[in-house]
């Protein structure tokens, strides 16, 4: 089945507190994760929470990367959604595991916009 996109939902554990709590580092790592996968970065928005935590999104031509961190738990929830055949979301996820100094990651890939399903839905409307 041909999908329009690949959406990886990653749970990244045992990360370095200092990295996950530093908005500039998280932003830099997320942008570089997009570039590592071959994506084209369009927009960037990040926010630092008090007393800790960072949320942000990197909008790419191929879709987006999003993150929310819980530094006190050493945990980051990450979405990497890519469309087309040229960008591999797993390249971004593996880069993040390395740069966050993570102990491990669990992740699930969801195929988005299965073309056959879209065509069936359009016919049934």
Summarised one tens digit per residue, pLDDT across range 75-105 is 999 999 999 989 999 999 999 999 999 999 9
Q: Which residues of the chain fall short of a pLDDT of 50?
A: none
How is residue 30 written in tokens? 């997320």
- Of 7, 15, 63, 92, the active-site residue reads 63
**pTM (2 decimals)?**
0.90
- Planar angle of CA 25, 43, 10, nearest 5 degrees: 55
Judge whether 47 counts as a catalytic residue: no
For residue 7, the enclosing domain spans 3-124
User: Considering its fold, how many domains does the chain have in total?
Assistant: 1
We report the CATH number of the domain holding residue 110 as 3.60.90.10
- In angstroms, what CA-CA distances link 47 with 30, 54, 56, 61, 121? 13, 6, 6, 22, 38
How many CB atoms sit inside 10 A of residue 93's CB? Answer: 23
Judge whether 63 counts as a catalytic residue: yes
- Of 7, 83, 92, 93, the active-site residue reads 83
Judge whether 68 counts as a catalytic residue: yes
């Amino acid at each position: 089945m041909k999908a329009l996109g690949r959406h990886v939902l990653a749970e990244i554990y045992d990360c370095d507190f200092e990295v996950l709590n530093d908005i500039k580092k998280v932003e830099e790592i997320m942008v570089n994760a997009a570039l590592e996968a071959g994506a084209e970065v369009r927009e960037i928005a990040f926010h630092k929470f008090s007393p800790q935590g960072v949320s942000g999104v990197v909008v790419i031509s191929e879709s987006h990367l999003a993150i929310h961190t819980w530094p006190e738990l050493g945990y980051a929830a990450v979405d990497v959604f890519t469309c087309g055949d040229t960008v591999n979301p797993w390249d971004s996820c593996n880069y993040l595991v390395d740069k966050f100094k993570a102990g491990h990651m669990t992740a699930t890939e969801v195929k988005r916009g299965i073309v056959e399903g879209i065509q069936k839905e359009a016919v049934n409307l």
